[in-house]
Structure 1
């Protein structure tokens, strides 16, 4: 069997002496949406940081497109096709929307104007606000800028940490619709999400983490249908 596009296997590590991740494994195929859910303190964001190289692993490895990238820096991983959108501080507030998007193309040597147009097609409100400082936008619009800037790197794997945190249910649904559109272009999505039920509805595969280890792994639909998962992690 072919190896999945992202294979983060047996990840163990943490901050200082204490391990937060205990043999955590995440896999994402090309064009899949993979969602990490679980209680607060389960290690969800830590797992994302480990995949992106912001956390040094004491055990396990990370492979992308068949290549071992465990020892690469985050910047080197971006060059290999990863993009990471953190939950907070993910835009340059004093820069315009368009300047934020241009910052996303800092590694590129080619003409990135067509990619900016693709971002504007995906998020039409950003075209209207292209000259406005990102700091003046609503929370949902800032998230669109952050995702758009990540897409400017032309990633093969887009990682999103709590993309719908603090936005209204309507904006959340819209963001999830755009995430589905991105995945349909063949980009793999790995995201951590507090709105577990809604995220699992769009997930091809879901990972329930508890105390830094895999508790349940299945399709989004199967996890939603699992009475134990529903009772313990989805509020009944």
Structure 2
């Protein structure tokens, strides 16, 4: 049975949770209304819903890019509600925005190096892991990132976030504007990343495909939780399918 509102995840406290979040941008009206988003360690949680539902806003709230008027954000049991996005990165959160997410004039390798700017250890093993995950980036590492295809640019953006060695990777519309084949490849890589123990929180327009790989799904409507359940259960829910997945 699909649960309404902010149903908790099964088991222990989730690794990352934005709980009962209400807020908006600056002095504007609230966009989120008691919204709860959570993900367990090494799992994939997907936020879906119609245009204007507040999906990306919820993600930005969890990352500290939005003023919360109520609610809280906790990472691994620690309250991080008051921390800046930069401080959250240093705590293990990686964020890939939908647009302007690479340095187009820099090479692929320089983009990856920029991702490690907070680190003081040897970044080469992590870079090798990124190249193993995205072999095309190894081939094109000396090329300006702006010359790459849309799907390859997304790989650079995700790779750069992975260079911070995050415990949580947050992706805002990672498959926007790419072909179905590239979308499938990106989702396969996202599954691989989660298998290494990294939690994935993702906003996605391709709701049906995203829910197929999700351990947990959140359907938002007008900045509030409409449905919360496993990806499989949401795909099987006739009301969710009829209203949000085109039947």
Which TM-score band applies after superposition, normalised by the shorter structure? over 0.9
Partner of 2:14: 4
- Give the 3-state SS of the residue equivalent to 1:58 in structure 2: strand
Aligned mates of 1:56, 1:101 — CA distance in 2:
30
**What do the CA deviations read for 1:119-147 (whole angstroms, capped 9, x no partner)?**
00000000000000000000000000000
| Mapping of residues 83-232 of structure 1, within 5 Å | 83-232=94-243
Aligned mates of 2:52, 2:217 — CA distance in 1:
18
**What do the CA deviations read for 1:178-221 (whole angstroms, capped 9, x no partner)?**
00000000000000000000000000000000000000000000
Aligned mates of 2:237, 2:28 — CA distance in 1:
36
Aligned mates of 1:8, 1:182 — CA distance in 2:
22
Once the two structures are TM-superposed, the CA of residue 224 in structure 1 deviates from its matched residue by 0.3
TM-score by length of 1: 0.99
**What do the CA deviations read for 1:50-72 (whole angstroms, capped 9, x no partner)?**
00000010000000010000000
Query: Which runs of at least 4 in structure 1 moved beyond 6 Å after TM superposition?
Result: none
| Unaligned runs of at least 5 residues, structure 1 | none
Number of matched residues?
236
Aligned mates of 1:3, 1:218 — CA distance in 2:
16
1:14 aligns with 2:6: no
| Unaligned runs of at least 5 residues, structure 2 | 1-10
Aligned mates of 1:219, 1:17 — CA distance in 2:
33
Aligned mates of 1:30, 1:2 — CA distance in 2:
10
1:35 corresponds to which of 33, 46, 70: 46
Partner of 2:81: 70
Once the two structures are TM-superposed, the CA of residue 2 in structure 1 deviates from its matched residue by 2.8
